Amino acid sequence: MALALTLIAQGAEAKVYRARLHADRAAQDVLLKHRFHKQYRHASLDASLTRSRVAGEARALIKCLRSGVSVPGIRMVDAPNGLLAIEWIQGSSVRFLLGSSDEPLDEPVDGDLPVSDQPQEHQHPLEPYGVSQDALMVLIGVEIAKMHLADVIHGDLTTSNMMLRLPSSSPSTSRLVLIDFGLAYTSSLVEDKAVDLYVLERAFASTHPDSEPLFTSVLNAYQTRMGKQWHAVARRLDEVRLRGRKRSMVG
Amino acid sequence: METFTYTHFPAQSSVVHIALFTSVGNAKDIRARIVKASTLGGPEGDAERGAVNFAFIDARLVTSRLHLQTAVYQAILSEAQGSLRTKTVHSEILWALNPSNNISEAIRRYGVSDSSSALLVVRIGSPDLKDVESLMRAIVDGTLSPLADLAALTDWSTVKKYYKLNGEPAIKEVAQDPEREREIVDNIIVSSVAMKSVQA
Ligand SMILES: Nc1ncnc2c1ncn2[C@@H]1O[C@H](COP(=O)(O)OP(=O)(O)O)[C@@H](O)[C@H]1O
Ligand SMILES: [Mg+2]
């Protein structure tokens, strides 16, 4: 499958590894995502579903790359085997950096930092990144706006699906990186953009306590970057929230 | 010349040799030999096809070592899965490098042309194949150079044109910063080569 594999995470649909594709001293690590076979799905249906998921994720990534949205570069696609390799991002998920409510702060800060630079036990996880919490929210809002301006809908915006690069790893590149485009698709519809934002709002509320001001900062930055397109999305977002509230009252 | 081994690929395609030749003086002859080899019959034809059994790539259109490695990787993958779009794993590298699906265009743009003066030569083979550098030197009249010299040879404006990058926001954003622009162009092109088998 690849060289030097380390399992990073195992989700419901995919196993995620840190790996090397090329036996080359100059080679950079990649993140290898393996969408594995699902026992309960019909074999040929499973194969074509896996193939189209991998293809869809790769197509969304290349569209983002061309549009200047900060996402990992693509390094290898083997759709028949459900494999996608992307650039390894040296850093942590935003979920970890905000200190999610239901998880201890035990995500390892990755990288080749000398031991003395490793965060101390009681240090705030954002400390090594040189970015304040509010500045991080601005980065998130801007990147989502760039993605929506390119008519890419993420489909699963959560704080787990965005990462912050460590400053040492690449000084000139954008710090916030959107990841996990497995459910992404192309659409210019205001409805789809509003739902994308609503999903993130819910994710903030359920994962991070007292996150309302944080999400407000995200939206402010998003609004600025969206320019003329903001008003239509804002109006629709209010409608989507209302629908969500009604649904939860009924359910 | 550098050699990379891919233990997870079938043995006959598990070793990749890559060399950069600069100041190439016989590009025209190389091209003529490739064309002729494909038409010759009998043992003579087999021998000649063996002698030119490489991918010859115009170095001007390759943006980085990762760019070439990515095309090589995807070509071996296609061969291993029985899904080659071209005749050989070596011509498949040229197909992988070109943004369109047009095979003759890929060979015309990315292969050796009469005006090529720097060539990347690639041989994919089994671990048993020995002294590949001599086999390359027997064909190419040029200076064997470190792969790192590639950076100075890239024709960025042609690369951007073939990949239609000039109007893209990612490129316009960094118009003031040529070094950053090259990083971004390289990343988009590596990504495009990697995903060509599923491109829309
Ligand atoms: N490019 C990357 N570099 C480093 N780590 C990554 C990268 N992409 C994802 N990860 C890590 O792996 C986890 C799972 O990846 P993700 O693409 O979200 O897959 P899933 O569909 O299983 O959620 C992420 O939450 C993140 O921590
Ligand atoms: Mg995820």
pLDDT for A116 equals 44
pLDDT greater than 50 at residue A104: no
pLDDT tier at A248, thresholds 50, 70, 90: confident
Contact residues, chain A, for B2 at CB < 8 Å:
24
Given B4, B195, B197, which is nearest A22 (Cβ)? B4
Judging contacts by C-beta atoms under 8 Å, the chain B residues touching residue A66 are: 165, 168-170, 188
Read off the pLDDT of each residue in A241-248 and give the average, rounded to a whole number. Answer: 86
Q: What is the pLDDT of residues A128-164, one digit of tens each?
A: 888 999 999 999 999 999 999 999 999 999 999 999 9
Q: Which residue has the higher pLDDT, A127 or A215?
A: A215
Mean pLDDT by 10 residues, chain B (200 residues): 95 97 97 93 91 97 98 98 96 98 96 97 97 97 97 96 97 93 97 96
**List A46, A78, A151, A156, catalytic entry:** A156
The average pLDDT across A8-32 equals 93
pLDDT at residue B25 in the model:
97
Percent of chain A with pLDDT over 90: 67
Share of chain B above pLDDT 90, in %: 97
Identify the pLDDT of residue A224: 98
Q: Count how many residues are written for chain B.
A: 200
The string of DSSP letters for A43-54 reads HHHHHHHHHHHH
**Contact flag A23-B5 (C-beta cutoff 8 Å):** yes
CA nearest B148: which of B127, B169, B185, B120? B120
Measured from the Cβ of residue A124, the count of other Cβ atoms closer than 10 Å reads 13
Q: Smallest CA–CA separation between A42 and chain B, in Å?
A: 22
Q: Could you tell me which chain B residue has the CA closest to the CA of A75? A: B194
What pLDDT, on a 0 to 100 scale, did the predictor assign at position A111? 46
In testing the pocket of ligand 1, which one of A6, A16, A166 has its CB within 8 Å of the most ligand atoms?
A: A16
Confidence band, pLDDT 50/70/90 cuts, at residue A101: low
d(C-alpha A136, C-alpha A98), whole Å? 10
Residue A106 has pLDDT above 70, yes or no: no
Residue A216's alpha-carbon distances to A94, A134, A137, A219, in angstroms, are 16, 10, 9, 5
Nearest-Cα distance to chain B for A172, in Å, is: 8
Predicted local distance difference test score (pLDDT) of residue A82: 95
Q: Judge whether B126 and B118 are in contact, CB under 8 Å.
A: no
Reading the block at residue A171, the tokens are 């000084």
Please indicate whether, in this complex, the C-beta atoms of B169 and A68 are within 8 angstroms of each other.
yes
The answer, yes or no, to whether residue A120 has pLDDT greater than 60, is no
- Report the pLDDT value the prediction gives residue A145, as an integer from 0 to 100: 98
Q: Please give the share of chain A, as a percent, with pLDDT higher than 70.
A: 86
Query: In chain B, positions 49-88, which contact chain A (CB-CB < 8 Å)?
Result: 65-66, 69-70, 73-74, 77, 81
Q: Assess whether A156 carries a catalytic annotation.
A: yes
> For tokens 């309302």, what's the residue?
A212
Output the CA torsion sign for A55, A60, A66, A70.
Answer: negative
Chain B contact set for A50 (CB, 8 A): none
Q: Locate tokens 């959107």: which residue?
A: A178
* A22 has pLDDT over 60: yes
Q: Hey, of A1, A3, A5, A24, which one would you mutate to test binding to chain B, going by the most B CBs within 10 A of its CB?
A: A24
User: According to the model, what pLDDT value does residue B145 have?
Assistant: 98
Asked if B4 and B108 touch (Cβ cutoff 8 Å), the reply is no
CA neighbor of B192 nearest in space, from B127, B105, B119, B100: B100
The answer to whether A86 and A74 have CB atoms below 8 angstroms apart is yes
Q: Is B133 exposed, middle or buried (0-12, 13-18, 19+ CB in 10 A)?
A: middle
B54 or A49, which is more confident:
B54
Q: In this complex, do B73 and A76 lie within 8 Å of one another by their Cβ atoms?
A: yes
* Better pLDDT: A209 or B5: B5
Sort out which chain A residues have CB atoms less than 8 A from B70's CB and list them: 75-76
* Rounded Cα distance, A180 and A189, in Å: 21
Instruction: Count Cβ atoms below 10 Å from residue A106 Cβ, excluding itself.
Output: 6
Determine whether the interchain pair A68/B65 forms a contact, defined as Cβ–Cβ distance below 8 Å. Answer: no
